[in-house]
Each structure stands twice: as C-alpha cells, then as structure tokens.
Amino acid sequence: MGNVARMEKSSETVCKIVCQYSRGRISAKDMEKLQEIAEDYRKVKNYVYDRFGGIGSLSKLYPGYTVQNEMTQSGLRGELKLPSVYFYLAVFEAIADIKSQWTRTKSKVLSLLAKNENLEPEEKHYLRYLLKVNNAFAAVLEEEPVELKSELQAKYDEVSKYVDAEKMHRYLCRQVRRYHTKLHSDRAEGFASSGKAYRYGDHGIYLASKERHKRIFVELTDGNQYGSQIYIKLYPKEGKLHIHVPVNRAARSHSDYVNQIGLAAGVYTMLTTDTGQRYGERLGEYQKEYAGWIKRQTASYNRNCKDNPGRKKYEAKKRRYTEQIHSYINCELNRLLRTEKPRTIYTVKLPKAQAAGGNRRVNGFLSMWQRGYIRKRLAQKCKEQSVELVEVFGKGISKECSECGREGNRKNGMFICSFCGYEADEKENTARNTLKRGLAGQTIH
C-alpha cells in the first residue's frame, strides 16, 4: 500500500459503543416513570411491526416517510401521551428491524433456491433477480405488475423471457409466506432518546418524561456528555440504568507500526504469531473451567428440573464467566498490537462452527471457544488502530511445511517435516504459512 492510501486510512472514523452507568439506586418512583416510557416504546414498536411488518406493506418501507406519516395519522401517540421524540424513535427502530427481517427472509429463500433441484437455471436466475431488485420483489408479493425504471426494465424483460413468470411468482410468494414471520417485542427493556429529549448536567442526565416539562434526573458515574442518539437500558430490579452511546472516533494511526505478521488461532492458545509469540495462552484454561462449571450446572439442573430457584444465580454467574473471558481476550489482543506493532495482520479465514455430530465433549468445548467474539474484537481493534487485517485461504495450511512447502507431520502440538528437517510449534508453522500466503497475495477480498 502506498503512502497516499496510508494517509487516507488514518483519517477514517470508527464507530464504537460507549457505556455510561447510573450512580446509586434510582428511586422506585422515577424507575416507574422510566418503565412507563419503555412500555409505551414497546407498544409503538409492536404496532409498527404489526401494521407494516407483513407482505402487503413492503413497498411502504422504502422510503420510510410513508410509515412515518401513517403513524402520525394513527393517533397512537396522543392515546399514549408519549413525547414525540420517543414515539418517532420507536417508529424508526421498528422500521429498521422490519428491514433486517426482510433481509433475513430473502437470504433464507435465496439459500433454499440454490439447493432446489427442481428449478431450471433460467428460473433460478429470474428468482434471484426478483430477490435483488426491491421494487420487482415488492410488486410480485403484492401481486402487481412489475414496472421498473427503464434501465432496470430492460434487464427484467431479458431475464423473464425464458421462464413462466406466473409460476415463478407463485413459488416466490409461497416461500416468503413460509419463512417471513412478523416481529413482536415482549419485553420493555428500554428506549432510545435523542438530543431534544435529554440534557446532561449536575453529574447526571435529565430525561424527558411523560409529564410536560418534568424531567427525570439520573446521576451518572462519569461526567462525559454526548450529543447523539442514545439508548437507555433499564434494570428495574437493580434500580439502575445503562446508557449506550454510539461514538465516532478518528482511527489512531501509529508511524512505528510497520510489521507484517501472520497469526494462527487455537483452542488452547488464542493466537500464535509467525515468530512463535503467544497471546492468550490461558484461554484454554479459562474455557475449560467455564465448560466444567456449565456441565456440573446442567447435571444438577436436570436432577432438580421441577423448580429451580437458583436459575437467576446461575445466569449471573454465567455472565460473570463470559465477562471474565471477554476481558481476558481484549487485554491479550491489546497486548498483541502493542508488542507486535503490525501494519498488516494476516489470518486464516476461520471455518464456520462445525455442525453437531462427532465427539460431543469436544464439540461442547469447541462451541465454548469464543471464535466469533475473538474475530469480531480483533477486527474492531485493527480498525481503531489503522492496522490492516487480511484473510488468506486456509486450505491445507496446517499440514504444509513453512520451510519447504511439502507435507509434514503433526504430533503433540509440534510440526515436523521429514523432508527438510524443519521442526516448530504447530501453530507457529501455521502462522508462518499464513504470512507467506498473505505476502504472496493468496488473500480473500
């Protein structure tokens, strides 16, 4: 990468969720008022899910102001006496949820389509087109003729020429009806708020309530002030709340981060570099302890499954275990970046978690391994520090000798090549191959 690209990179911003916490216990009276807002917020969302989440409303979702206007006219806001800020934020949140629900439905139909052996290639091609072009998709589901902008229309006429369109539309509608479920929110966990409805001050935050001109004051543990849209999450039993604030931060860039490194991930040691440095060596230990505890809990749960008063305690302990492992992972990832000072990190694209079957104990252990979490955190930290993270193809990577390229043997965590005599830690060998493949451009884009 040239210098120009490097400089552009350093001006990138990274979105991060910052958390703020209430100090002390929120009075029961104030908590009740906050819960009332959360409850109304939930009602508004469910109303939107119910009215606009179905097949017939697809075309109203883009652009969103149709929904917004209809919600204004619905009279629901007046009925609930909810401040308009909360009302519209609930509407927008519900619309966003519905849109992601549609994305999920479409990808489900798309994956079934790929496996369907009864469809001709032209038919699959046509159906994929419908799933891709929103207006065409909406028209088909609403049983309207497909009418598109001129350039899209030409393409549509082209792909529809070779198929029985009616038959395809019936197939698509059937699939969508089968997999598209309406959303519903059962729990009122909190609500979003924006600059008009809150004000920081006096070591806390003033939140708009349902009573006119009366704000609820909540003391906070820090003095930070933000101006963006925030999310208030309530914990009524504990008498506390958390505030989630999305913050855009300029990515930091380090002039001394110049190294190219290869990494190999493992179950026992989180990450090993191409020079044999290890990060997260205690991950396996933590995981094993956690797995053992879960196993004992499950056994005792099965014995006393009739009623279980300890369930809450169990959840709390489980959360503590996860938090402990996550904080360990984050510390070790930070240490890796600080120590290795990488400009580029190459990793193997991790395979998806294996399907059930095989050795159950090992599967249980592996599923506990925080694969997805480590990958997500590494990606986020690389973004924050302007480190390039590149995935390489992983096929056969652990069997290959990083010295001569031939196939070697692995035993007790060691890699031994009988051709050239190379011997190293198995993970170190993999990390060396990863770096080699990365530098050779065998990367995934």
- Give the closest residue to 273 by CA, choosing from 338, 336, 326, 343: 336
Q: How far is the C-alpha of 245 from the C-alpha of 230, rounded, in Å? A: 5
SS3 182: coil
Considering the complex, what minimum distance in angstroms separates the CB of residue 421 from Zn ion? 7
- Residue range at the interface with Zn ion (CB under 5 A); choices 4-12, 30-38, 257-265, 420-428: 420-428
Question: What is the Cβ-side half-sphere exposure of residue 280, based on CA atoms within 13 angstroms?
Answer: 33
| DSSP type of residue 268 | S
Considering the complex, what minimum distance in angstroms separates the CB of residue 271 from Zn ion? 24
- Residue range at the interface with Zn ion (CB under 5 A); choices 235-243, 282-290, 325-333, 396-404: 396-404
Considering the complex, what minimum distance in angstroms separates the CB of residue 407 from Zn ion? 9
Of the pair 168, 417, the CB lying nearest Zn ion is at: 417
401 binds Zn ion (CB under 5 A): yes
Q: Who's near 75: CB < 8 A, 6+ residues apart?
A: none
- For 177-226, list the strands marked E by DSSP: 190-193, 198-201, 204-208, 215-219
98 binds Zn ion (CB under 5 A): no
Considering the complex, what minimum distance in angstroms separates the CB of residue 399 from Zn ion? 11
Q: Is the distance from CB of 225 to CB of 243 less than 8 angstroms? A: no
Of the pair 420, 444, the CB lying nearest Zn ion is at: 420
Considering the complex, what minimum distance in angstroms separates the CB of residue 402 from Zn ion? 8
Question: What number of chain residues touch Zn ion (CB under 5 A)?
Answer: 7
Considering the complex, what minimum distance in angstroms separates the CB of residue 320 from Zn ion? 46
422 binds Zn ion (CB under 5 A): yes
Question: What is the Cβ-side half-sphere exposure of residue 151, based on CA atoms within 13 angstroms?
Answer: 0
Q: How far is the C-alpha of 225 from the C-alpha of 253, rounded, in Å? A: 25
420 binds Zn ion (CB under 5 A): yes
Of the pair 370, 402, the CB lying nearest Zn ion is at: 402
Of the pair 26, 401, the CB lying nearest Zn ion is at: 401
- Residue range at the interface with Zn ion (CB under 5 A); choices 27-35, 189-197, 248-256, 410-418: 410-418
- Residue range at the interface with Zn ion (CB under 5 A); choices 173-181, 277-285, 293-301, 413-421: 413-421
407 binds Zn ion (CB under 5 A): no
Considering the complex, what minimum distance in angstroms separates the CB of residue 416 from Zn ion? 9
Q: How far is the C-alpha of 206 from the C-alpha of 232, rounded, in Å? A: 12
The number of angstroms, rounded, from the C-alpha of 299 to the middle of its chain's C-alpha atoms is 31
- Residue range at the interface with Zn ion (CB under 5 A); choices 27-35, 75-83, 99-107, 401-409: 401-409
SS3 12: coil
404 binds Zn ion (CB under 5 A): yes
Considering the complex, what minimum distance in angstroms separates the CB of residue 433 from Zn ion? 11
403 binds Zn ion (CB under 5 A): yes
Q: What is the chain's percent helix, strand, coil content, to nearest 5?
A: 50, 20, 30
DSSP state letters, 51-103 = HHSSGGGGGGSSSTHHHHHHHHHH-HHHHHT--HHHHHHHHHHHHHHHHHHHH
Q: How far is the C-alpha of 280 from the C-alpha of 285, rounded, in Å? A: 10
Q: How far is the C-alpha of 72 from the C-alpha of 91, rounded, in Å? A: 10
- Residue range at the interface with Zn ion (CB under 5 A); choices 167-175, 192-200, 359-367, 419-427: 419-427
154 binds Zn ion (CB under 5 A): no
133 binds Zn ion (CB under 5 A): no
Considering the complex, what minimum distance in angstroms separates the CB of residue 345 from Zn ion? 25
Considering the complex, what minimum distance in angstroms separates the CB of residue 418 from Zn ion? 8
Tell me the two tokens of residue 286.
């933590």
The number of angstroms, rounded, from the C-alpha of 115 to the middle of its chain's C-alpha atoms is 26
Q: Which of 91, 241, 417, 431 binds Zn ion (CB under 5 A)?
A: 417
Of the pair 413, 421, the CB lying nearest Zn ion is at: 421
Of the pair 331, 420, the CB lying nearest Zn ion is at: 420
Q: Is the distance from CB of 192 to CB of 93 less than 8 angstroms? A: yes
Q: Which residue type, as a one-letter code, is found at position 54?
A: G
399 binds Zn ion (CB under 5 A): no
Q: Who's near 204: CB < 8 A, 6+ residues apart?
A: 23, 217, 218, 219, 220
Tell me the two tokens of residue 175.
């699939």
Considering the complex, what minimum distance in angstroms separates the CB of residue 427 from Zn ion? 17
Of the pair 83, 408, the CB lying nearest Zn ion is at: 408
- Residue range at the interface with Zn ion (CB under 5 A); choices 256-264, 308-316, 361-369, 409-417: 409-417
Of the pair 343, 427, the CB lying nearest Zn ion is at: 427
Of the pair 310, 421, the CB lying nearest Zn ion is at: 421
Interaction site with Zn ion (CB under 5 A)? 401, 403-404, 417, 419-420, 422
